[in-house]
Structure 1
């Protein structure tokens, strides 16, 4: 599709994109590149000049635009809640327009308020001005989901709140998307946000040209051209940590001793492997701590000489989580656990090797990494 304004100004040149069902696709690019214009053509707030928009097999450029918008959820930057209606009234707007009965609307509103983290008893009868910015944004998401739309459009929904609230909203939204699995088109100018939440990202330049359409990991690891490389930033290697998962092949296997083992046995294990430290597990096989070679002297058991170890992450974590944990605890390694089961450790060297392998496509990605 395309959008040419009177006078010949090109809002969006010929654009051809497919958004996969159940995925969150991010449109990102500099101001004026056509991100919001593209989004508004999807629900025909802006009418395309040429082309078709297919929702499944249906060309929605040929249907009633008002009816179309009731089938597509829409969340904007400043929320757009009706100030004269309660939160319950706002969330129930589209179901009322569709003619749902009052009980069905009430049940749906209650369900959605809980889903987005708002207590119906506390927030349901309040007005928008009585809520914080983050709470209003969650109410806006609930309203957009009320009629169970096929597609959800989100136009810089979190940009009007402070960074701390924004990060919390992104995390809550990822949790919500894991539950509802909507087909979402999300507009932002922030590549950090795009990488964090997107399954796929379209980097756009002036005139609505798509310079690259790829997963976050591919975008950061293999920018298609100089424009994309400049846009994602020179620190794209660090950004890639957030979208690269931990693979079993990344893990190192240091010596393992038990808290009930004697120190003499622990010394022997360290000498046998030439290691400077060992992982200590408790009697149930859970991570207890670590034991350095210099503390494995004398008599007694490992329990008396071991040090507690707080630097650990679950196996589902990203390399960014592992690196941050390592820095937070000033640790030389971080343990990786599957529930309570110890799997291995990541060190700065193995973490770097994992990142290098991910660029070559041999490490799984984590879509919507937290």
Structure 2
């Protein structure tokens, strides 16, 4: 969809902002451009809509050399979102969002209807926010309007220049989540500029790590973090890149332990027999519908705990609630956060409605080590065998 062919930008004073840049962005792909200030990432993005003209090479969008396109018409076909949002203060939210469709000649009624659809899509009810003005919105809400306006003409390409950089960390994470949700539905081709490596890792299908005017490495977030191609990339992503990998390493079925499973309405005696046969000190408890309910220790079921178990008791009588669970494929970062939130030694993992097993801190650590080793060695995660310190893999 976007192709750079030996693109260079050199200014009259001899400064080279971008030097012989060649790479492609596939249709529907989101590439994050990340690097320190002055490295050329914003210049790269602005050359796509000709806000900056290259001094050498070619840029093609959907096979068309943009040098032959009218700059104004080109910009109307490319969505553009910036950190300062740039909303018109004298226009309502609805009219701001309808700006580009109106400029493209769409009837006012049609443009406003499209604007209302987009506001709803980004989580702003048009009946509530449509008639407000930008100064009546929070920073996060203005950013949402900026995204909606960029999408209003349904452009195939979206350029985003630090769009969430001006809001606080909590709002920023929420906006990132919303944008990932939108992208999973709309599949736009996106160049996303950021100076934040964690944001780049979280959002990008691939990451372009910039040095001075050039790309040091362009690869998936997992590979950039697990196998930096150059010393510069390794230094830029940081010594804690193993922790950053938590955001891009999914929970897999092979990471899970499988303790015995009982249901809340099972007779306590029968559940106790099952644990005894398995030699297990506890079991995962599922609700009647198969959803995670909690856990139960064997001592409670057998009556060897603090109180004897009634003869007619069910597992529910002695089960201990714990709502910590995740879907298969969730990132390890979410798994760790859930463990900490619930102060839990394990969390249940499900595939749809089916309980698969539990993830413990030890298994989470092993999953991260296998993923990092796999990227460094160029093999699959499932082929990696780890040497562990004796006792380190015991469940908590």
2:334 corresponding residue in structure 1: 321
1:254 alignment partner, SS class: coil
2:124 alignment partner, SS class: coil
Number of residue pairs matched by the alignment: 363
The answer as to whether partners of 2:95 and 2:112 remain within 8 angstroms in 1 is no
Are 1:251 and 2:256 an aligned pair?
Answer: yes
- Once the two structures are TM-superposed, the CA of residue 303 in structure 1 deviates from its matched residue by 2.2
1:145 corresponding residue in structure 2: 151
Correspondent of 2:296 among 291, 302, 327: 291
Correspondent of 2:316 among 299, 303, 309: 303
Are 1:350 and 2:355 an aligned pair?
Answer: no
1:336 alignment partner, SS class: strand
Hey, what's the Cα distance between the residues in 2 that align with 1:142 and 1:283?
Answer: 43
Hey, what's the Cα distance between the residues in 2 that align with 1:314 and 1:124?
Answer: 36
1:16 alignment partner, SS class: strand
- Greater shift in the superposed pair: 91-100 or 183-192: 91-100
Gaps of 5+ in 2: 1-6, 304-308, 383-396
- Once the two structures are TM-superposed, the CA of residue 314 in structure 1 deviates from its matched residue by 1.8
- Once the two structures are TM-superposed, the CA of residue 363 in structure 1 deviates from its matched residue by 4.8
Give the structure, 1 or 2, with the largest relative contact order (CA under 8 Å, sep 6 or more): 1
Hey, what's the Cα distance between the residues in 2 that align with 1:343 and 1:236?
Answer: 29
- Once the two structures are TM-superposed, the CA of residue 353 in structure 1 deviates from its matched residue by 1.7
1:47 corresponding residue in structure 2: 53
- Once the two structures are TM-superposed, the CA of residue 302 in structure 1 deviates from its matched residue by 2.2
Hey, what's the Cα distance between the residues in 2 that align with 1:304 and 1:12?
Answer: 68
Give CA-to-partner distance per residue, 1:168-199, whole Å, 9 cap, x none.
11111111111211101000000011111111
Are 1:65 and 2:71 an aligned pair?
Answer: yes
2:144 alignment partner, SS class: helix
1:202 alignment partner, SS class: strand
Gaps of 5+ in 1: 365-370
Give CA-to-partner distance per residue, 1:229-280, whole Å, 9 cap, x none.
1111111111111111121111111112233434343333333333221112
Cα 1:180–1:284, aligned 2, differ >3 Å: closer, same or farther?
Answer: closer
> RMSD of the TM alignment (CA)?
1.6
- Greater shift in the superposed pair: 307-316 or 269-278: 269-278
- Calculate the TM-score normalised by the size of structure 2: 0.88
Hey, what's the Cα distance between the residues in 2 that align with 1:303 and 1:339?
Answer: 24
Give CA-to-partner distance per residue, 1:309-356, whole Å, 9 cap, x none.
211112242111111111111111110123432111111121122112
- Calculate the TM-score normalised by the size of structure 1: 0.94
